[in-house]
Each structure stands twice: as C-alpha cells, then as structure tokens.
Amino acid sequence: MTPTFTFESTLTDNVNLSPNDDKKADWVNQFTPAPRFSWQGARSRLAGNVSLPILLYARTSENNYVAPTVDIAGNAELIEKFLFIDASANVSQQYQTPFGAVPNNLANATNNRYTAQSYTISPYLRGLLANNLDYEIRDSNIWSVGNGVGRTSGDAYDNFFTSHITRQPTPLGWSLSYDRTALQFQNQPSERLQIARANALYRADPALELSATVGYENNELQLTTESGVTYGVGGTWHPTDRTNVDAKWEHRFFGASYNVLFDHRTPLSVWSLRASRDITNYPQQLAALPGGVDVAGFLNSLLLSKVPDPTQRQSLVDQIIHARGLPATLTAPVTLLTRQVTLVEQATATFGILGARNSILFNVYHSRQEPVEGAELSEINGILVSLNNNTQNGVGIVWSHQLAGNMTLATSADWSHSVDNVEPHVSTRLGTLRTLLSTALSPYMTVYASARLQDSRSNAFGSYREIAVLVGASYTFH
C-alpha cells in the first residue's frame, strides 16, 4: 500500500463559474488522502486507487463537499482453468451535459457535476475443449448510481451476457457467438438487445487474419422492436510488436457499425487512433471509465520494450507522471447521463513523445451521440434529454519541460465545442489554459504553484470566465 496526501489552496475570482455580473471570488482549500494498493495471491489479485478530496470554501461554505474517486478491480480463479470471477468498483466525478460548466478541477462548484458510481461482477467460464478450440461464457452484472441528479436519474442495472466458441484459424477457422443486453432503469420499461453471429476466420500469414460475419439480431426497445440479418467483415494486422491494426465493419439495424484501432510506437513516441460507431448505454459507459486517454496506460505502452517487467514499468510510469506534472487523463468528450440506449459515433487521435527533458502529449476527438430509434425521451433534473443528442469536438495538448533535475514546468491547453444536433444554434465553446511549476523537495514530497484561465461561451446555460492561482504540496508515505 502506498498512501499519498495532497494539500491544495486556490484563489479564484469566479468560484461558481457564473456570468460576469454574478461571479464570486473565494479561497478554496482541498485536502486529499489517496491510498493506492495492490495484492496478489496464488489464484487471485486485487488492486486499486482511492481518492477522497475534501473541499472547504472560505466565503461560500454551502459549497463544502467531498468528491470521492475510486477505481478498484479484482480477479479470482475459483476452479483452476475453468471458473473465474472479475469484480470492480468505480466512483468518479462526472458532468450531466457538455453544454454546462465543465471545469478541469474540483475547486469550482457547479450544479452540472455529480458523483457517478458503477459496480460490476462478472463470473465466467473459460477453457479449451480440444486443440485450437476455446470457449468463454461470461455474465456481467453492472449496477450504476448517479448521485446529485435526482433520486433515480442515474440508477440502473445492466446484465450483459456474452459467449463464444472458437476454432483458431490454421489457416481456416470459425467462431459462434451470442450476446444479450438487458437494461433496466428504475421506474422505466426494460430494454433487451440480442445478437447471434457465425464467423469464418482465415489466417493469411502469422501477421494477418481476416474474418467474415453473418448473424441475426432482435432488439426490444421502449417503443419499438428492431430485428433482422446482420453481416460484416474484419481483419487484424500485426506486422511487428510495435504496430497493431484491428478493423471491423458490420451492418446493423441502425446502419453501419464499425471499430478501428491503430497503435504504433517507436523508442520515443506513441501514435494511436480509435474510431467506432455502435450502440451503448449509460451503465456500460460508466463501467468503461476513466474516460479520455489514460496517460498512465499511454506511457506504459511507450516503455513496454524498455522495461519488460510490469511492476518496474508501472513504478517508472508513476515516477514520470509525478516528476513531470502530467495529468491522469487527457481531454475527452463528456459521458452523457441518459436513460436511453444511444448510438455513439466517435474518433480519437493521440500522439505522445517522451524526451530526456521534454514530453508532449496531444489528442483530438470527435463524438456524436443520439438516441436510437424508438428510445423514450424524459427529463433529467430540468435538463431536457434532447440535449443528449449532440456532437462534441475537442483538442488538447500538454507540454512538460524539466528546467532542472528536480524542477518541472508543465503547460496544458484544451478547447472543446459542443453543438445540439436538433437545434444547431445551441452550442457551447470552452477553452482552458493552465501552467504549473513543480519541484521535488525529496523523493517523497513535491510542492507546486499553478495558474489557470477558463473561458466558456454558451447560449445554452450561460457564459463565464475564471482566473485562478493555487499552491499545493504532495507527500507520499513509505
């Protein structure tokens, strides 16, 4: 276990991110105990991070609150090479809509923020039936809770059942699969989506594998039923251990569904591209958090060949993030709180370079979300769900420069634009600029000073501008 304690003191001229005529200045003090732990047994493991920021406001004491963040995951092998179980708990701070205030820190108080909880238990069977023949049957149960947006707005249960049996291609192979999603929001009719597929597999060479798919789906939505034949193609290409390409396309009841992944790394850089179009729901999106580009995972990929041992590599990643003042995640679309099955089309491109004294992380994203045909509209805390039919675009860059052996200057800039797809004149533009100077007083203690500017131009929830300065210190117990 590695406990960390952080203290941060912020002076802001607009604590509530209100329009200029109504803004209030405040002094905010944040105390954050954050233990990190990992445990591994012969056939089980558990790891996680817990952060409990406590925020106290000098002038607006009604804003005092605790903003927990929890990310815990575990796995156990109950019967050797046959029965397994995965479990996870995720608590995070999310935003109801990208059209409202979306600050890049916890010190700003906003009604747009809420605490999202997601708990998952997934028992599954997995094994080999014969040479080149494997199977898996998994039953994932996801419970989600959205606090601060009404009693039942974010409360849901999602049962996600998946199964497959596959004969690995040598060079020909095949696979049969069946997936079912049963989604239930409190006080709302349930929805059920089912699809069965048969896949033909062909391995052209050790680096290239192709597939063709045909299937049938039946989807019982709130106001309609959609069913029919599906078909698609796919391929994976791994020319080297540094390059990976994976692409799939399928015709579904909502049109084209696709998923494209591209990763490439060099000794100093990482390139990544993600593009997809598919249906999803709020519990599944919460279970997949954290959103955005995970900086730790990004650096882990970059250092894969340099540091083969995963424990040593993770320790080095933590050291780089801490020493260079890098964020935990890069800017990303807002995960929308919606009581509907939604169609999400998104693309993200990321580039990172890690030099001796400089590091640069750059990402750009596009996300379009809309209700699938027949989904029921409702109202969440006075915010019409029609605002969940929107397009979000954004770009972010983080530059870190090591001034001396123990001093780092980090600067980040983010810009996003959200547009209502139904009423295109309804939009929000948000820009943020932050610079941070940090120095390590010892291997376990870091102090830092930072300044930030946030500027939002919105005709949906009001525009605002904020300037803030802060100082902080972080100590890791050992």
The pLDDT tens digits for 67-96 are: 999 999 999 999 999 999 999 999 988 888
| pLDDT score, position 327 | 67
Q: Does domain 2-476 have CATH number 2.40.30?
A: no
Beta strands in 253-406 (DSSP E): 255-265, 269-280, 342-354, 358-371, 379-380, 383-384, 390-404
Q: In 3D, which of 370, 454, 375 has the Cα closest to residue 419?
A: 370
Q: Which of 33-42, 300-309, 313-322, 369-378 has the lowest mean pLDDT?
A: 369-378
| pLDDT score, position 298 | 67
How does residue 156 score in pLDDT terms, banded at 50, 70 and 90?
confident
**Is there a contact between 138 and 113 (Cβ–Cβ < 8 Å)?**
no
| pLDDT score, position 148 | 59
This prediction's pTM: 0.86
Angle of CA points 82, 84, 85, to nearest 5°: 165
- The Cα 44–Cα 84 span in angstroms is 10
How does residue 152 score in pLDDT terms, banded at 50, 70 and 90?
very low
Question: Region 169-184: what's the mean pLDDT?
Answer: 94
How does residue 153 score in pLDDT terms, banded at 50, 70 and 90?
low
110: helix, coil or strand? coil
For residue 307, is pLDDT > 80? Answer: no
* Residue 62 or 335, more confident: 62
Estimate to the nearest angstrom the gap between the alpha carbon of 313 and the chain centroid: 22
- The Cα 430–Cα 166 span in angstroms is 47
Q: What is the 3-state secondary structure (H, E, C) of 149-201?
A: CCCCCCCEEEEEEEEEEEECCCCEEEEEEEEEEEEEECCCCCEEEEEEEEEEE
How does residue 422 score in pLDDT terms, banded at 50, 70 and 90?
confident
* Residue 386 or 21, more confident: 21
| pLDDT score, position 381 | 35
- The Cα 102–Cα 380 span in angstroms is 18
For residue 151, is pLDDT > 50? Answer: no
How does residue 376 score in pLDDT terms, banded at 50, 70 and 90?
very low
How does residue 374 score in pLDDT terms, banded at 50, 70 and 90?
very low
| pLDDT score, position 104 | 85
For residue 383, is pLDDT > 50? Answer: no
Quickly list H helices, 290-414. 295-302, 310-324
Question: Region 250-271: what's the mean pLDDT?
Answer: 92
For residue 177, is pLDDT > 80? Answer: yes
H/E element, 284: helix 282-287
For residue 382, is pLDDT > 60? Answer: no
For residue 188, is pLDDT > 90? Answer: no
**Is there a contact between 119 and 83 (Cβ–Cβ < 8 Å)?**
no
**Is there a contact between 283 and 145 (Cβ–Cβ < 8 Å)?**
no
Q: In 3D, which of 19, 32, 217 has the Cα closest to residue 106?
A: 32
- Domain boundaries along the sequence of the chain: 2-476
Estimate to the nearest angstrom the gap between the alpha carbon of 336 and the chain centroid: 12
| pLDDT score, position 221 | 85
Angle of CA points 276, 277, 283, to nearest 5°: 95
Question: Region 294-306: what's the mean pLDDT?
Answer: 70
Residue type for position 393: N
Cα–Cα distances in angstroms (integers) from residue 435 to residues 105, 157, 411, 412, in the given order: 13, 41, 4, 6
* Residue 6 or 373, more confident: 6
Estimate to the nearest angstrom the gap between the alpha carbon of 133 and the chain centroid: 33
Question: Region 355-375: what's the mean pLDDT?
Answer: 84
